[in-house]
Structure 1
Amino acid sequence: MMYSTILCEGTADQILISYYLQKNLGYKHIHNKEYKKLPLVNVKNSKSEWYKDLGDNKLLILDVSGNDFSQGLYSLFKYNKSVEQTEMFRRICVITDNDDPSAAKRIEQLENQLNAITEKVFPLEQASWNNIEIKSGFGEIVTISLLFLLQPVDEYGNIETFILNMQAAKDSNDKLVIDKAKTYIKKVKEVCNKKYLKSRGETNKGELSAFFAAVSPQRIFSPINELLRDIDWENYTEYNSQYKLLNDINKDITMNNC
């Protein structure tokens, strides 16, 4: 049995990741009443959800409510340094939106933080499992594997971008509507002189809302988790091959090719 964790930016990302892992790796959600038996990682303003696979490997998905993962990583490594090897989080993954030019620099921030925590220099490679060594609470030298993923990988965007791309690739009529929705939102921004939809993230949400308002008006007020669960996630890796790396989240460190 092994503990792993995935840090993400928000609730929608948490739902996306959990659905992918449930569909592809057989993970099941752990009921809240079982949480007291699991490692406690305290991170301010975060939301925790626990899952387990068929081999009883445990996975914590930690929504840190933003793109600052520093407190989450600090808490995880602090915990790891206080327990024995069998209780440590052996695989740690950070998934962040590729929503602005600074997103790619977050891996540098993670490197700097890891260097400060471990007092060693660990250059991290994006979209690859990176092995580092730390001491457990009992003085054991233990290998921890870290993964840093940007989504989507080939363009600036976020989970709304992903949903639109999925729908456009699946249905040619949807693609026409999506193109019109993007044009409409662009004109709204121009006419209103940036009074509305000021950030890239707000623009992407506006495009998604405009699309659903046209093709399925009754769903425009549906919670994001309902929209996510209704999409054909089984084809996700065709559009973002990075997610295939999550298939190693429950594997022993010696089984990857770092």
Structure 2
Amino acid sequence: MPRYRLDIEYDGSAYAGWQRQAELPSVQAAIEKAILGFCGQEVTIRGAGRTDAGVHATGQVAHVDLEKGWDPDKVQGALNAHLAMAGDAVSVLAASLVADDFDARFSATARHYLYVILNRRASAALMRKKIWHVPKLLDEGAMHEAAQRLVGRHDFTTFRSVQCQANSPVRTLDRLDVTRDGDLIEIRASARSFLHNQVRSMVGTLKRVGEGAWDAGDVEAALKAADRAACGPVSPPDGLYLTRVDY
């Protein structure tokens, strides 16, 4: 059967996450329902990253095997039409034919995330559920300096959920940069793979640095503790975006 790669964008606010769940709306289920409406085929699609409830994506990738060799543009257009009719905040940005051994999850060589903090006194009128509003002024320079203590290959037990099902807490973090653009603080993280809640846990910890409660040494000590209790508060899902997956 022909295998298709789907590049996907979604607003995660109304979903219980990427992964299909009984009686709860999910991005995966929305796309699978659109495929059923398009070609009458019941399928299970595989995504590159299982984003949590409330997390968004501008560059999620999935693959699906269809029984018929449809033109990729027709697949994209038909799926978007069915998603729109269902009122889903999901869009297929592109569809393409790929080799039979392409796997959206296991073929990935890197995943890139963006976390956005709105750092001003006034709350968000236009970006609600799309950012984390932090009214206290943050020192993005101190946050970036502390973030570099987390870059590299480490045991990230401190920064993963107790519900994480990964076999090992060891990961290689290739990038963790903190920059400011006006009232927006952007935190960009890149790695081959991430642990459950790793990015949100790191962001919550870096926010403590930005407030002046912690410094870079405290972040390094928390990392070396390899203890979930040493982590700062976990940031909300609203500001997190899966922006790109490399293959």
- How does the TM-score come out when normalised to structure 2? 0.32
More helix by share: 1
Task: Identify, as 1 or 2, the structure richer in strand.
Answer: 2
Structure with bigger RCO (C-alpha 8 Å, 6+ apart): 2
